[in-house]
Structure 1
Amino acid sequence: MDSLQSLIAAEALQPIDPRVTAFAKTIVAPFGDTARAVIFYGSCLREAQLDGLMLDFYVIVSDYGAAYRAANKAGWMARANALIPPNVFPAAHDNLAAKYAVLSEADLARACSMQAGDVSVWARFAQPVRIVWSADADAEARAIDALCAAPVTLLRHAAPVAGSASADPLHVWRTGFTRTYGAELRAERGDRPDKVVDFAPDHYAAVGEAIAREVPDLAAMPRDEADARWAKLRARGKRLTVARLAKASFTFAGGIDYLAWKINRHAGTQIEIQPWQRKWPLVAALFLVPRLLKSGAVK
């Protein structure tokens, strides 16, 4: 039987489109020796045609201060990254577009664990991802350790609230992803968590079996404690989404256009950004989010 470590490593280290690897190398180059790994994740991982899409990367660094100094970026960005991780930036290479988030190794480990204060990292890294670049074997191993922790964290939260046993062996995974989608401001339609699981059912079944063998107390958390944790994650997640959006208006050129594109793509809306909104993206975002919540475009 495969261990959790071997399953996650085999998935994360699979070959990927060479353009993605080349893109990751250009993104990480400015960070010099502080760069530790690049993780490719998200819906684009499930697409064969990447042109016209927005790729998603996490750049893992050793230290925020040193990383931003190496990249000749403003000092306040390092402080903002540490206060409300991650910072998000746009990038383009070889006719591909991406956004990349910057996270330290320490924050990556924490954000994938039960100590995480929100779901944003472990919910994404509980899914199949790829390590498309690493500085050395130690950096790769640290990234894989975090990627192993993420699905355990998801199932620890999901198992106590999943209800009675279901004929669907992936029921707990579906429950977990449904809860995580509800713990952020997300534009995706309600069937998105099911689609995430249905894309790689064999992966989730194998990882779930490995976790069940290696983590015998997976559902040990009492139901009322789990419900309270989910309520706290949901409340904090909504606030953090707005805070990160506000921060991105300073770090992400064209961020308001990306926000509109993302919502239109996933929610079927027809949002058009006006010139004044591009000039004042923070103000626009603060007006846009309540409107979208009221309409149900994001939840």
Structure 2
Amino acid sequence: MARVSELKSLIAEELAQSVDRRVAAFAASIAEQYGEASRVVLFYGSCLRTTELDGQMLDFYLIVSSYEAAYGKSWLVAANKRLPPNVFPAEHDGLVAKVAVLSEQDFYKLNRITASAVSVWARFAQPSRLVWHADEQARSQAIEAIEGAAITLFDMTFPMMDIGKEHGIADLWKRGFELTYGAELRAERKDRSDSVVDSDPERYARFGPAVMAAITERNKAQGKSLKIIASRNAVEKRWRQLRRNGKLLTLARLAKASATYAGGIDYLAWKINRHAGTEYVIKPWQRNWPILGALVMLPRLILGGAIK
């Protein structure tokens, strides 16, 4: 029987930690909506960190066996395949959330270094909870997928650290999250990457050595073949690609959300106002024409520094 890595053990332990019973009930209702296609429901994000639920927008990822199983013969299958994830609003017992849907295959791939954007691996390098799962195999596959997130973060961050300086584990995490926040259109404060780590420094101190051990084991396993070590220039080029992709994908997903997410433009404004301290008010015409409304709104907010 293969030895379970320390990193996987830590992920399994973290995923299994208890959550508010309302979050668990919410997750079960999401899984029920998609029937046998549902594999796991993961809870993550600011509401997990702060434990504040009322009046907040909760964040869930629903992992399904396949998009066909989840949607049947629907245009949503193509939308989820071509521009994952699909995102939907949800309500349960007085709580509201947005639910991102990915297949097991895409969830695994988007947590790896070959992903075209940082959005999945950046989030799952942070804490999450497995709040519903169909069976033990689904749980194991979720752990396997999530293991790639922190490894990818470290692989992409090591070459970007300042040479000639001493760095602690916390510095590596903070630099990594700083880079990922810069690779998306985000309405976050400049110190957000620091606050994520500072909210639970013990967690990141535990996970850091385990991530490095997993990278070492991977490199040993690949030792019989030639391994090319990326230069800083190569990694910087990759980050430029990720920044370009991330911003374009944000706009494309916003356009898609106008068809899949009722009130998506209002959510965007709420998110920006909450994190950037702005007071942007959506006009009635923007709700009627959400794509055009978003295109008008985003340049103003970018120029004003509300999002980057």
TM-score normalised by structure 1 residue count:
0.95
Q: How does 1:1-299 map to 2 (within 5 A)?
A: 3-69=6-72, 75-164=74-163, 165-216=165-216, 220-299=229-308
Q: Secondary structure at the match of 2:119?
A: coil
Q: Secondary structure at the match of 1:170?
A: helix
CA-CA distance at 1:169 after TM superposition: 2.8
The letter of the residue matching 1:119 is V
CA displacement, residues 205-249 of structure 1 (integer Å, 9 cap, x when unaligned) = 211101222312599432111111101100001100000011011
Given that residues 156 and 221 in structure 1 are in contact (C-alpha distance below 8 angstroms), is that contact kept between their aligned partners in structure 2?
A: no
What stretches of structure 1 move > 6 A for 4+ residues in a row? none
Secondary structure, counterpart of 1:121 in structure 2:
helix
Structure 1, unaligned runs of 5 or more: none
Tell me the amino acid that sits aligned with residue 137 of structure 1: E
- RMSD of aligned Cα (Å): 1.6
> Partners in 1 of 2:156 and 2:5 — Cα distance?
23
Structure 2 Cα separation of the partners of residues 126 and 48 of structure 1: 19
Give the CA deviation at 1:167.
4.7
Which whole-Å CA distance do the structure 1 matches of 2:21 and 2:37 have between them?
23
- 8 Å CA contact 1:160, 1:220 repeated in 2: no
User: Which secondary structure does the structure 1 equivalent of 2:34 belong to?
Assistant: helix
| Offset from partner CA, 1:68-115 (integer Å, 9 cap, x none) | 12xxxx711111010000010001111101000000000000000112
For structure 1, which segment, 230-239 or 208-217, has the greater mean C-alpha deviation from structure 2 after superposition?
208-217
- Give the residue type in structure 1 aligned to 2:152: T
TM-score normalised over the length of structure 2: 0.93
Q: Percent of counterpart pairs with the same letter? A: 53
16-25 or 196-205, which moves further after superposition? 196-205
- Partner Cα separation in structure 1 for residue 282 and residue 160 of structure 2: 40
1:44-65, Cα deviation, whole Å (9 max, x unpaired): 1012331000000000001102
1: CA distance, partners of 2:15 / 2:237: 32
Count of residues in Structure 1 that have an aligned counterpart in Structure 2 = 295
- Separation (CA, whole Å) in 2 of partners of 1:85 and 1:77: 10
Unaligned runs of 5+ in 2: 221-227
1-structure distance, mates of 2:154, 2:132: 28
Aligned-partner Cα distance in 2 for 1:211–1:187 = 29
1:106-151 Cα shifts (integer Å, max 9, x gaps): 0000000112110000000000100100110000000011111100
Q: Which residue identity is paired with 1:174?
A: K
| Contact 2:15 2:128 (8 Å CA) reproduced | yes
Match of 2:223 in 1: none
